[in-house]
Amino acid sequence: MTSHIGADTAPSTSPDTTPPGAVPEPAIVRADRARKKNRRRGLAGAYIGGGMLAALAVAAIVCRFFLDSDRIDPAMVLTAPTGEHPFGTDSAGRDVALRTFAAAAADLPLALGGTAVAMVVGTALGLLAGSGGRGSGYIMRIVDGFDAFPLLILILVIVQISGGGTAILLATIAILNIPRFIRLTRAESMHLRESRYVFYSQVIGTSVYYRLRTHILPNISGTILSQASTGAALALSAVGAMSFLGLGIAPPIPSWGSMIQAGSAGLTTGQWWPIAFPALALVYSIVALNLISDSLDAHFAKEVE
């Protein structure tokens, strides 16, 4: 009888998969590759939100510039959704689906463009305010002055007096968002000013501009981008609200807010489609922007950790 004593206690070794003559991959390299893979997974929400907005943008371009979203058919007034008109028609006999997607070509650029202007201006002023220079106090006093007023009401009055228009709306969106970027950038830059590498950079005689551009701005860019996505969602809501009040994009250019306002009259008689689909498109866009914001926020928070 053959003895098997010691067979179970023999040390087990995993086969060496390294090719003959090749240098084994260091553990730090493997860890770095795994970390990058986890980062890509962490940005899944941003990819989904970006894909949602990209699909909407393509549909908006097609419906706004290649299809007739303003065609009126008196025989099809307030028709419920059908195969020919999936979203139904409005009170003028226009296709609600075409106008809903075409409205994105007007609303999204306004919201994104105004937020981009606010991001550039607010970040620059926030960095200046956080640098500790002589102008930092004046900048924050101006921001505090803006916060002391009901800013949205003031802007609505300005838009009403000026008569609205795309340029006024763009400036309005920027003004609404600039104080947020200033405060965020100032707080983040003041926090980083206390870090060792910024202190050592100052010790060796680098300029304030160099430290802001090289050490501070790259390390707060993720937070700024996350705030930009949140700001764009708020801006889109503001564009819709002003259009609903008749202070936004002027007809005949379609806008989600003006479509909701025009369709609200038929809601009491059961004609829900002229208001439902523009409202859903607005919610869809805001959800996409919030997905991007949350994903970026979580991604850059992990990097800091």
Q: Using one digit for the tens of pLDDT, what is the confidence trace for 161-199?
A: 777 678 888 888 898 899 999 999 999 998 888 888 887
CA atoms of 116 and 174, how far apart (whole Å): 8
Token readout for 246 is: 């008749």
Q: Looking at residues 87-110, what average pLDDT do you find?
A: 94
- Radius of gyration, alpha carbons of the chain: 27
- Can you give the pTM of this predicted structure? 0.81
Bridge partners (DSSP) listed for residue 232: none
The alpha carbon of residue 252 and the mean position of all alpha carbons in its chain are separated, in whole angstroms, by 27
Q: What structural domains and CATH numbers belong to the chain?
A: 34-68+91-304 (1.10.3720.10)
> Among 274, 301, 270, which Cα is nearest to 97's?
274
CA atoms of 214 and 205, how far apart (whole Å): 14
Task: Give residue-wise pLDDT tens across range 237-281.
Answer: 989 988 898 888 877 889 999 999 999 888 888 899 999 999 999
What's the N-to-C CA distance of the chain in angstroms? 61
pLDDT at 27 over 70: no
Number of residues assigned to the chain: 305
Token readout for 209 is: 């501009």
Token readout for 31 is: 């860890």
> Among 205, 177, 24, which Cα is nearest to 111's?
177
Residue 63's pLDDT band (cuts 50, 70, 90): very high
CA atoms of 188 and 198, how far apart (whole Å): 13
Spatial contact of 34 and 302, defined as CB atoms under 8 Å apart: no
Spatial contact of 70 and 255, defined as CB atoms under 8 Å apart: no
